[in-house]
């Protein structure tokens, strides 16, 4: 919901840094993998309930996730780069929730619901992108991307806010998970409705 507006603020500094890294021969895929490694380092921190460290690593991962696209815009985008980026994103998103539950097993049910809800948003997002590409439909409202980005209530900015809230207020995990999961299902339903309007004969 907020991603398109935030792009206008975050793209210029990321673009400058991405151009600098590209000139030094650092590729977008390397940034993607390094960012995923940083994000994965938050998993044991979450399991150990070291939420301050986990938050720092999560935020750094998200910065690097934006940076890999900026590098790609200067070094050249590739289909594999887009593929790698989205796979790492969804593994990271579900990993944060799973490893929070590892540290607090009593929160397994709301954690499972939240991951279930991520499946809804992730599958509706990726399936829409597949058929948009098949029909030659493009958009640049969220910047230049390797695949079509359909919006919703729960996009990247909202998910970052959720993860920050989980680290800052871990005792509220259940409320946050149930609430955000419900918003994910609204997003999923809206995307299915958009697909019905766009892809039906």
What integer best gives the mean pLDDT of the chain?
Answer: 87
Query: What's the number of domains the chain is made of?
Result: 1
179 pLDDT band, cuts 50/70/90, is very high
Q: Give the number of C-alpha atoms closer than 13 A to the C-alpha of residue 99, restricted to the C-beta side.
A: 23
The CATH number of whichever domain residue 91 belongs to comes to 1.20.120.1760
Contact partners, residue 11, CB within 8 Å, separation at least 6: 70, 143
DSSP class of residue 2 equals -
pLDDT of residue 121: 95
Identify the domain containing residue 183 by its residue range: 3-199
Residue 151 pLDDT > 90? no
Q: Mind listing the pLDDT tens digit for each residue in 32-89? A: 999 999 999 999 999 999 999 999 999 999 988 888 877 777 777 788 988 999 999 9
Residue 93 predicted with pLDDT over 70: yes
End-to-end CA distance of the chain: 28
Residue 198 has pLDDT above 60, yes or no: yes
Could you report the per-residue pLDDT of 22-32, keeping only the tens digit for each? 667 678 888 89
The whole-number average pLDDT for the span 98-120 is: 97
* Predicted pLDDT at 135: 85
């Amino acid at each position: 919901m907020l991603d398109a507006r935030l792009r206008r603020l975050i793209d210029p500094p990321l673009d400058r840094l991405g151009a600098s890294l590209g000139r030094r021969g650092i590729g977008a895929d390397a940034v993607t993998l390094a960012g995923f490694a940083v994000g994965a380092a938050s998993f044991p921190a979450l399991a150990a309930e070291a939420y301050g460290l986990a938050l720092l690593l999560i935020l750094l991962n998200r910065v690097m996730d934006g940076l890999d696209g900026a590098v790609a815009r200067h070094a050249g985008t590739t289909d594999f780069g887009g593929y790698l980026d989205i796979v790492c994103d969804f593994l990271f998103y579900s990993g944060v929730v799973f490893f929070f539950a590892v540290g607090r097993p009593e929160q397994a049910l709301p954690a499972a619901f939240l991951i279930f809800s991520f499946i809804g948003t992730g599958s509706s997002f990726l399936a829409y992108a597949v058929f948009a590409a098949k029909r030659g439909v493009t958009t640049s409202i969220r910047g230049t991307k390797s695949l079509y980005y359909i919006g919703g209530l729960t996009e990247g900015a909202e998910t970052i806010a959720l993860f920050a809230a989980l680290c800052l207020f871990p005792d509220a995990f259940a409320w946050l998970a149930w609430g955000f999961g419900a918003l994910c299902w609204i997003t999923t339903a809206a995307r299915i409705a958009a697909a019905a309007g766009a892809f039906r004969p």
